[in-house]
Structure 1
Amino acid sequence: MFKKILVPTDGSALATSAATTAAQLAKSQGAEVIGVYVIDPFPYIGIGDASAAGLQAYMSEARNAAGQALDAIGKACAAEGVKFSGDTIERNVVYEGILETAKAEDCDLIVMASHGRQGVKALILGSVAQKVLTHAPVPVLVAKG
């Protein structure tokens, strides 16, 4: 039924748990897993050499974190014998980056974690999972940790 499963990650233990769920589901469906890590753009606050150095340091750290997060998904997929590819993208709005990737990769399912915030925290912080659920053109499986 599913051929390409998108797994967004922020590198958290919950995201890694969702990746394990996605890998097991992919194995049962004969599907492949696509991982995505969305980097927030560098908060540009000035001009000159200091900003250039700050941008370089920021992007280096962000790409390192993305690599580690995507490696965790890759390991979960390897354990299940599932094909995996990962990508790092830069977007201002995380959920939009997830949805763009789902469309660009022609994914037919999104499996993601939810931190399960409730009450005022959920209202103030919003929820990437909630926004993906609301706007996704494909089914979304939310794995709660």
Structure 2
Amino acid sequence: MFKKILVPTDGSALALRAASTAVQLAKAHGAQVIGVYVIDPFPYIGIGDASAAGLQAYLAESRSVAGQALDELGKVFAAEGVPFAGDTIERNVVYEGVIETAQAEGCDLIVMASHGRQGVKALVLGSVAQKVLTHTRLPVLIVKD
């Protein structure tokens, strides 16, 4: 049924739990897994040399964190013999990056984590998972905290 599963990660333990769920689905369906880490862009104001240096430092650190998160995610799938490829992208809005990656890769399922915030925290912090659910036509499996 599912041939290509997208698993977004933020490097958290909860994202690894979502990967554990995705690996079982991938094994059951003979699916490939695509991991994605979406980097928020640097809040660049364009004034002075310090801004350019800050941008480079930010991007280097962000790519390092993304690489580590995707490596950890990949280990979950490698341990079970499930094909995995990871990708790091930069987008202004994280949920849009998740959806764009799913579409570009031809994924037919998104498996992602949610912290399950409610009330004021959900309103203030927002939820990437909620926004993905709202804006994609693909099936989404949410693994909650």
TM category (shorter chain) comes to over 0.9
User: How many pairs were matched up?
Assistant: 145
TM-score (norm 1): 0.97
> What is aligned with 1:131?
131
Structure 1 stretches lacking a partner, 5+ long? none
**1:87 and 2:80 matched:** no
**Counterparts of 1:58 and 1:82 in 2: how far apart (Å)?**
32
Q: Larger deviation: 95-104 or 44-53?
A: 44-53
Percent of residue pairs bearing the same amino acid type: 80
> What is aligned with 1:21?
21
> What is aligned with 1:44?
44
> What is aligned with 2:104?
104
Matching of residues 65-84 of structure 1 within 5 Å: 65-84=65-84
**1:34 and 2:46 matched:** no
Output one character per residue of 1:47-100: Cα deviation in whole Å (capped at 9) or x when no partner.
232111101110011001100110111000001110000100000000000000
> What is aligned with 1:5?
5
Q: Amino acid of the residue matched to residue 61 of structure 1?
A: E
**Counterparts of 1:81 and 1:93 in 2: how far apart (Å)?**
32
**1:59 and 2:59 matched:** yes
Aligned 8 A contact 2:46 2:52 in 1: no
Structure 1 stretches of 4+ with a deviation exceeding 3 A read none
- Secondary structure of the residue aligned to 1:113 is strand
- Secondary structure of the residue aligned to 2:79 is helix
**Counterparts of 1:3 and 1:85 in 2: how far apart (Å)?**
14
TM-score (norm 2): 0.97
Alpha-carbon deviation of 1:8? 0.5
Aligned 8 A contact 1:20 1:73 in 2: no
**Counterparts of 2:46 and 2:103 in 1: how far apart (Å)?**
35
